[in-house]
Structure 1
Amino acid sequence: MKKKSGDFFAALKSIILPESNDQRQANGPVTNNVILKELLDCFDNSCKRESVGKSLLFNMHYLIILHPEVYEERLPSLPIIVKEALKAFYNKLKSYKKNYDELSPVSFHWQFRFAPGTDFNQERITVEDVRVIGMLTGLKPTGSGGGDRHNTAKVTMKSKATNVFDKMDLNLDVLRHVHFAENGTFTVKFNPELSVTNVTVSTATVQKTARPADNGLARIECYLADKSKEVVYIMKDTEIVIARKEPENVGYSNYLLIESGFVSNPHARIRWNEAQQSFQIASFSNNETRVNETVIAKSEADSPRWFDLNDKSQVLLNGMVTLSFKQL
C-alpha cells in the first residue's frame, strides 16, 4: 500500500518529540500507578543529573500538582503512594550505589507535597495531567541578583513538549496560586540503610480541608517592640511557619517572616486542624513562646506538640514580638 506523503514527517516527529504524557493518558484517568511512575521518573532523572564524580545525589523534595477532582479522588491513597515511592527510591539507590563511592543525601528528610490546581506555569492542568516538580532541598532562592533571579529556583520538571524531565528555573510566583494543604504533605526521615521494609507513612493527616482560604483563615498583627514596628499578615495556608526573616526563607509562601533578632529560625508553627475545627500552635524555639500568659513547651521539629490557639489570642515571642491572632 502506498504511503501518504505525510507519513515520513509524522514518523520523524515521533522520533524527535516523543509522545507526550497527555497523549498517553488520554485513554485513561490519572491512577495511583501513574502518579507513582511520574515520581519515580523524576527521581531517576535527578540521580543522573545531580550526581557528581563518585558522589550520588538525588532530589528529596517533591511537589505534585493534580487537577482538583483527581486530588480529591486520590487523597486517601496519597500515604500509600508516598510509601511505594520511597520503596522504589531506595531500591534505585541500592542499584546506583554500586557505581559510586558515597551516597550524599542533602536533606535529613524526604518531603512530598500534593496540591490541587487547574493551571501551572502557564499550562492548563486537566484530569489527565500530573505535574511533578523535584528539588534537592526544597524551594529556596537561587541568589539575590538582579531581575527575577531572587524569586526563582532550579527544579526538575517534565517539559510538556518533549515528555522528558529536565532541569529548569521555576518562578516561585506560580506556586502562590496553588494551595498546599497539610493533609497532602508528608515528611519521612531518610534511612541511610536504604531500608524498604520499615517505611511508614501515617494516614492520620489525611483529612479533607473544607474551610475556604480565598479571603484568608486568620489575621495576625505583629508588633516588634525592639523596632516599634507593626506588620499585618493574612494566613491563607492551613499551616504556616513563623520564622526570622533570612534569605533562605524568602521563597516560601506560607512563612510569616519577622525582621527581628529576637525571633528564632524557625520559631513556631500555626495550623488549622480541620478534624477539631480549631487553630493550634507549636513552638520550636529555645526562647520563650507564650500564649495568653501561658508558656508553650518547646517541640522538636519532626514531632510538634500542638496547643490550642483561640480567637483573639496574643502570642509573645521571646518577650519582644507580640502577635495578635484573629480568626476570619
Structure 2
Amino acid sequence: MKKKSGDFFAALKSIILPESNDHRPANGPVTNNVILKELLDCFDNSCKRESVGKSLLFNMHYLIILHPEVYEERLPSLPIIVKEALKAFYNNLKRYRKNYDELSPVSFHWHFRFAPGTDFNQEKISIEDVRVIGMLTGLKPAGSGSNDRHNTAKVTMKSKATNVFDKMDINLDVLRHLHFAENGTFTVKFNPELNVSNVAVTNNTVQKTARNADAGLARIECYMADTSKEVVYIMKDTEIVIARKEPENLGYSNYMLIESAFVSNPHARIRWNEAQQSFQIASFSNNETRVNETVIAKSEAGEPRWFDLNDKNQVLLNGMVTLTLKQL
C-alpha cells in the first residue's frame, strides 16, 4: 500500500512531541512522581467539586493503593512524597484562594494512608497502577452506628474507564483486605499559613500528631429537653455540621447528629478558626438559635455569618436542645 504523504510528518511530530504530558508512558513504571501527580490531580479535582459559594473546600484524607511490589519499593520514599504533595497542595491553595473569601478546611490534619493491594473495587491492581481515593473528612469508624444501606463512603476517585477523577460511592467492604500499616500512614497538622517547608514528615511525627487528633478540639455536651436524653460529642474536625439524625446524614463523619424533631436538617455549623484561635458558629435554621442569651441570625449555606463561641458557652437550638462547648 502506498504511504500517505502526511505519514512522514506525522511520524516526525510523534518523535518531537510526546503524545501525553503524563509523568509516564502508557503501562510504564510507577515512580514517585507518578504517585505525586495522582495525588495532586485528586486534590485539584476536589477543590472544584467541594467548594461552595465563596468558601474553598478540598479533600484532606487520602488512601493510596499500590501493587505490593511497588509498595515495598516506594516505602522509603513515602514521607518525601507526602511532603512534596503538601507543598503542591499549599501552592495551589495560594492561587485558588484569590477567587474565594476564605479557606474552609474540614479537618485539623492532613491524612495519607498507603497500602499494598492486588485488587480494589472489582478491579485488578497491576504493577503499573496507582489508585488514589480522596475524602473530605475520612471514613467513618467501624461500629459508628451506620446500617448496611449506608456502609458506603462518598469519595473522589479516578475511573479506569474514563481516566478522570469523579465523585462516587465505594462499599467499605472493599477496604477490608487492605493493610494500612503504621509505616505507611502519615498525619500532618494543617498549616493555615499554607507553608510546609519546616514540617518533618516522619512516622514519629505521625504518631504524636495522631494522638492529638484523637483527643479532639472540643467536647460538646448535648441535652435534649423533649426526651430528657444526654449525649456527648467529641469534635475532631475543624468544622462540623449540627443536624437532625436522618438516614441521608449517616455517611458523614463530621456531622453531629441529634435525635430530636426540634433540630433542623441542617441546623448549624461550628468551626475552629485557627487564625483567631477560637470557635465560631453559624446558624442555617428557620428556628431560633441562641448563644447564651444572644439570638444568632440565620445564614445562607453558601454565605455563613460566623458568631464567636467561647469556651463553656451554651447553644440553645429551637428552645429545646442545649449544647455546651468545652474546649480540650
Q: What's the CA shift string for 1:106-144, capped at 9, x where partnerless? A: 000000000000000000001100000000000128999
- Higher alpha-carbon deviation: 202-211 or 77-86: 202-211
**Structure 1 residues 179 and 281, CA gap change in structure 2 (3 angstroms):** farther
**Structure 1 residues 229 and 283, CA gap change in structure 2 (3 angstroms):** same
**Structure 1 residues 72 and 3, CA gap change in structure 2 (3 angstroms):** same
Distance 1:103 1:313 in 2: 25
**How far 1:149 moved relative to its partner?**
3.1
Q: What's the CA shift string for 1:199-235, capped at 9, x where partnerless? A: 3201558999999999999999999999999999999
Runs ≥4 residues deviating over 4 A: 1-25, 141-148, 203-328
**Structure 1 residues 282 and 150, CA gap change in structure 2 (3 angstroms):** same
Contact 1:141 1:150 (C-alpha < 8 Å) held by counterparts? no
Distance 2:119 2:162 in 1: 19
**How far 1:56 moved relative to its partner?**
0.1
Distance 2:183 2:275 in 1: 11
**Structure 1 residues 78 and 285, CA gap change in structure 2 (3 angstroms):** farther
Q: What's the CA shift string for 1:47-87, capped at 9, x where partnerless? A: 00000000000000000000000000000000000000000
Distance 2:278 2:182 in 1: 14
Contact 1:291 1:314 (C-alpha < 8 Å) held by counterparts? yes
Q: What's the CA shift string for 1:179-207, capped at 9, x where partnerless? A: 11111000000001111322320155899
- Higher alpha-carbon deviation: 141-150 or 60-69: 141-150
- Higher alpha-carbon deviation: 93-102 or 210-219: 210-219
SS in 2 for 1:206: helix
**How far 1:252 moved relative to its partner?**
13
Distance 2:122 2:17 in 1: 20
- Higher alpha-carbon deviation: 273-282 or 102-111: 273-282
Contact 1:71 1:115 (C-alpha < 8 Å) held by counterparts? yes
**Structure 1 residues 129 and 286, CA gap change in structure 2 (3 angstroms):** farther
Unaligned 5+ segments in structure 1 are none
**How far 1:254 moved relative to its partner?**
19
Equivalent runs, 1:225-244 vs 2, <5 Å: none
Equivalent runs, 1:1-328 vs 2, <5 Å: 25-140=25-140, 148-204=148-204
RMSD across aligned C-alpha pairs, in angstroms? 12.0
- Higher alpha-carbon deviation: 68-77 or 200-209: 200-209
- Higher alpha-carbon deviation: 251-260 or 64-73: 251-260
Contact 1:245 1:260 (C-alpha < 8 Å) held by counterparts? yes
Contact 2:289 2:318 (C-alpha < 8 Å) held by counterparts? yes
**Structure 1 residues 98 and 124, CA gap change in structure 2 (3 angstroms):** same
Distance 2:275 2:181 in 1: 14
**Structure 1 residues 96 and 323, CA gap change in structure 2 (3 angstroms):** closer
Unaligned 5+ segments in structure 2 are none
- Higher alpha-carbon deviation: 97-106 or 19-28: 19-28
**Structure 1 residues 168 and 295, CA gap change in structure 2 (3 angstroms):** closer
**Structure 1 residues 205 and 198, CA gap change in structure 2 (3 angstroms):** closer
**How far 1:28 moved relative to its partner?**
2.6
Contact 2:187 2:210 (C-alpha < 8 Å) held by counterparts? no
Contact 1:140 1:250 (C-alpha < 8 Å) held by counterparts? no
Distance 1:191 1:277 in 2: 13
**How far 1:294 moved relative to its partner?**
47
TM-score (norm 2): 0.56
Distance 2:142 2:183 in 1: 28
**Structure 1 residues 239 and 89, CA gap change in structure 2 (3 angstroms):** closer
Q: Figure out how many residues of one structure are paired with residues of the other and give that number.
A: 328
Contact 2:224 2:320 (C-alpha < 8 Å) held by counterparts? yes
- Higher alpha-carbon deviation: 226-235 or 308-317: 308-317
Q: What's the CA shift string for 1:281-311, capped at 9, x where partnerless? A: 9999999999999999999999999999999
SS in 2 for 1:46: helix
**How far 1:159 moved relative to its partner?**
0.3
Distance 1:323 1:57 in 2: 26
Contact 1:142 1:153 (C-alpha < 8 Å) held by counterparts? no
Distance 2:259 2:76 in 1: 39
Contact 2:185 2:203 (C-alpha < 8 Å) held by counterparts? no
**Structure 1 residues 105 and 212, CA gap change in structure 2 (3 angstroms):** closer
- Higher alpha-carbon deviation: 138-147 or 167-176: 138-147
Distance 2:304 2:118 in 1: 32
Q: What's the CA shift string for 1:234-260, capped at 9, x where partnerless? A: 999999999999999999999999999
**How far 1:13 moved relative to its partner?**
21
